[in-house]
Amino acid sequence: MPSFSIAKMLKSIINRKGMPGVLFLILLSSCSGDSPVSRRYPCHFTFHTEWHPASMIFTALNTNNYYVSISMSVYHGAYVVNTSDPNGKKESIALTNDIENLAYSSGIYLGAGGTNGSIILGHTNFNGYVAWDGQCPNCATGYTTKYPLQWTDNTTVVRCNNCHRTYSLETGAILSGNNGERLMQYVVSLSPGGVLGVGN
């Protein structure tokens, strides 16, 4: 049986495909590794910042180390985006047109809390946009809203009042408390036109 080695495989790809083949192999292997994106619970959030330029969400996307907690509700048949920050400021924005509401036609999915869930969104100093599940990753063992992450005196740190772990909103890492899982992370995208997407 012929022996297999990475070096032989790379040499073969370079000889047959050149450097583009190597780049494809690198991209392929990076996709197969452990992704930081949590897939434990479905998450899907869409928000048109171009129609709400004075919103707290718009501010969070454009201000380093400013984070907001986002949840949703329904009022008189319209979806409402509810936002709060570590300083106690709150905001509710009704999604009043069909395009905004269409994104939620199959329901609200905000991570571990499901329909009643929340996400924490912000712009870090070093990692760009981030979104985290609003429930403690080490206490939530199914769909629940029993273990919400709470703001602390440090606006870049959240705490679970059940297990007493604290987490960094910059990296998702545990800062204090027992070892365990980092925050559940979601992908953040922002189109050139200003459409924000958070999901997995």
Domain assignment present for 38: no
Query: How does pLDDT run across 114-149, given as a tens digit for each residue?
Result: 999 999 999 998 889 999 999 999 999 999 999 999
Domain assignment present for 122: yes
Give the 3-state secondary structure of residue 56: helix
Q: Dihedral through CA 135, CA 137, CA 140, CA 144, nearest 10?
A: 30
Domain assignment present for 128: yes
Domain containing 155: what range?
Answer: 43-199
pLDDT, position 162? 98
Residues 26 and 103 occupy one common structural domain: no
> With 60 as the cut, is the pLDDT of residue 32 above it?
no
Number of structural domains (the chain) is 2
Exposed, middle or buried: residue 102 (CB in 10 Å: 0-12, 13-18, 19+)? exposed
Specify the DSSP class assigned to residue 196.
Answer: E
CATH code of the domain in which 116 resides: 2.102.10
Domain assignment present for 107: yes
Angstrom distance (rounded) from CA 53 to CA 56: 9
Residues 70 and 147 occupy one common structural domain: yes
Q: Is pLDDT larger for residue 13 or for residue 57?
A: 57
Give the 3-state secondary structure of residue 52: coil
- Number of Cβ atoms within 10 Å of the Cβ of 136: 27
pTM: 0.82
Residues 64 and 156 occupy one common structural domain: yes
Q: Where residue 21 falls among pLDDT bands split at 50, 70, 90?
A: very low
Residues 57 and 29 occupy one common structural domain: no
pLDDT, position 14? 44
Residues 9 and 52 occupy one common structural domain: no
Specify the DSSP class assigned to residue 37.
Answer: B
Mean of per-residue pLDDT scores for the chain: 86
Residues 13 and 106 occupy one common structural domain: no
> With 50 as the cut, is the pLDDT of residue 6 above it?
no
Query: How does pLDDT run across 67-119, given as a tens digit for each residue?
Result: 999 999 999 888 999 999 999 999 999 998 899 988 998 889 999 999 999 99
Query: How does pLDDT run across 168-190, given as a tens digit for each residue?
Result: 999 999 999 999 999 999 999 99
Q: Where residue 33 falls among pLDDT bands split at 50, 70, 90?
A: low
Domain assignment present for 21: yes
Residues 111 and 27 occupy one common structural domain: no
Domain assignment present for 51: yes
Residues 160 and 96 occupy one common structural domain: yes
Residues 182 and 105 occupy one common structural domain: yes
